[in-house]
Chain A
């Protein structure tokens, strides 16, 4: 708050400089304008200060303490970080998360890209609207609700998925009771709900590619796959970059689906990094440790984003 006030005063006094001669009551008008700006900004800036900036600093500090909320916080240095580096549950949850991100994002982007390029092709408008709305639909549902009904669909004994599998004469799959099965379900449910977002981005990106580029390629004799690889992919690469960065950031924070579908099980096989943050804090009351895990996750998110943008320098083609 005090920063804001000094800023305001500083800005106000600079308003009296000769620059402000434009209209009659320039200095006063400037100051008023400044004050008005800060009034408009106040709710957002103060709110973010209290609920984002203070918490992130708090998290940074808390990571070096042991604290169960009841007793006094005890400074432990890097012990929390050493502890989580050795803790098998934390390690496996980060490993799970990384495997999840790689598989889920790859699936999500490929499905979205294939469907988006198919919908670009010639077809009646109503059909295009129908497909677009359909693929968009899961985005308006809650991940918790989706995980509830998907959990029933993948039920080993009574689920529709195993019933369908039985129709083609195969044995029922123990979806949620085996590590591999549970991981597969979490990925399927997540991708089912989220591919529509990447799809939207790709539809937008493909729509921005000028038609004459394709006509030129066709004149040169390119067709089908060749056109897609040599024309579409390079021109779409800025969209692909944004879509993949957003998909990775979101997927690294996966929580709702594994929490509702499996509670992280069987064993730790579907426990995600965020689930461990949650459990450390609100089940084991290890708030310092939870902060440390959260920070590691944030660093991971930032590192991955950085690498993606670095790679893009080499592979993204801007018109």
Chain B
């Protein structure tokens, strides 16, 4: 705000910055601040309550800033449920899905973007059309196919069906379309094989696109609830969201700080994505929307 006043003072830029700090500006800022408080408030409360003594966790007035943090709830949540197991399961599932999607989407996207074969456009249209099918419609047959494969109630039941990705394929196709075709022609003249051209020329150029696919997959599957709820049965195969919901069910409204400690722990990887992958995630979420 001080910079604006200084700018207003200098005559050269006065014409550019016509409007000084007005009532409208303050009004807008107030609305945005209220929205920001409503967005962050619940998360701050969750964090500070997880750092209260379990016995005091539902006491009023609530706390939004953890002045004197107490870590009892964090050790307690490890005692109440097999947190390590849940974290390992979630990490394995998410990791394999993300890696699988990055690889298969890059392969298919490259084929659709750069290789000529009969039925290319038709097949790509079909892949896109599968995005219209909601997961709830296919889940019953998927559950049966998984059972038929003998994978019922395993982590693989969650991983394998989630690897083929229509959206990721679409994204990678767009990405490869943006890479000039001359590169392949030059490599071809040098006698490089199809595989070499893909692996050594195109794939390195597509790593930012693959990062977007990976981050999207991570964000979706780390947080997903519906598929694990259906496809896993025994607690040893639960993922974090499932484990936390069942912990919440068992605790009732007792020591909620213990449940909230688990919630905060489950958020940590999401925070890493938020701080380091936000740009990629934004790009991925809004990709394909056009102008």
Contacts and interface: CB of A to CB of B under 8 A. Distances in A.
Contact of B140 (A48, A53, A150, A281): A281
A140 B274 contact: yes
Nearest to A49: B164
A201 B289 contact: yes
A38 interface: yes
A137 B39 contact: yes
B226 A148 contact: no
Contacts, number: 281
Contacts of A119: 32
A33 to B, nearest CB: 6
B127 A134 contact: no
Nearest to B215: A140
Interface in B195-213: 195, 198
A119 B141 CA distance: 46
B245 interface: yes
Q: Chain A, interface size: which category?
A: 35 or more
B92 interface: no
A301 B134 contact: yes
Given A41-B107, A160-B62, A302 B134 contact: no
Interface string A53-82: 111101100100000010000000000000
Contact of A36 (B115, B132, B225, B289): B115
Interface string B62-75: 10000000000000
Interface in B117-157: 117-120, 123, 127, 130, 132-145
A137 B40 contact: yes
Given A47-B163, A160-B62, A297 B136 contact: yes
B45 A153 contact: yes
B166 interface: yes
A121 B25 contact: yes
A295 B120 CA distance: 29
B90 to A, nearest CB: 10
Contact of A11 (B117, B141, B169, B259): B117
Contacts of A145: 223, 241, 244, 263, 266-267
A311 interface: no
Interface of A: 7-8, 10-11, 14, 23, 32-34, 36-38, 40-41, 43-48, 50-56, 58-59, 62, 69, 111, 114-115, 118-119, 121-124, 130-131, 133-146, 148-153, 155, 158, 160, 163, 192, 197, 200-201, 204-205, 208, 238-239, 242, 249, 253, 255-256, 259-260, 274, 277-278, 281-282, 287, 290-291, 294-295, 297-298, 301-302, 305
Contact of B282 (A14, A200, A242, A255): A200
Given A37-B115, A38-B117, A200-B285, A133 B278 contact: yes
A298 B134 contact: yes
Given A56-B141, A153-B42, A205-B291, 5 more contacts: A34-B117, A121-B25, A144-B241, A152-B253, A255-B226
B190 to A, nearest CB: 13
Interface string B33-63: 0011011101101100100000000111110
Nearest to A138: B39
Q: Which of A111, A140, A204: most chain B Cβ within 10 A? A: A140
9 contacts: A11-B119, A40-B107, A43-B164, A44-B169, A45-B108, A131-B32, A144-B241, A192-B39, A294-B139
B36 A139 contact: no
Interface of B: 1, 3, 19, 25, 28-29, 31-32, 35-36, 38-40, 42-43, 45-46, 49, 58-62, 103-105, 107-108, 110-112, 115-120, 123, 127, 130, 132-145, 160-161, 163-166, 169, 188, 194-195, 198, 219, 222-226, 229-230, 240-242, 244-245, 248, 253, 256, 259-260, 263, 266-267, 270-271, 273-274, 278, 281-282, 285-286, 289-291
Given A38-B117, A140-B281, A53 B130 contact: yes
B136 A238 contact: no
A16 B286 CA distance: 42
A256 B278 contact: no
Nearest to A14: B118
A10 B119 CA distance: 11
B270 A140 contact: yes
A54 B141 contact: yes
Given A145-B241, A145-B244, A40 B198 contact: yes
A295 B140 CA distance: 12
B43 A58 contact: no
Contacts of A242: 289-290
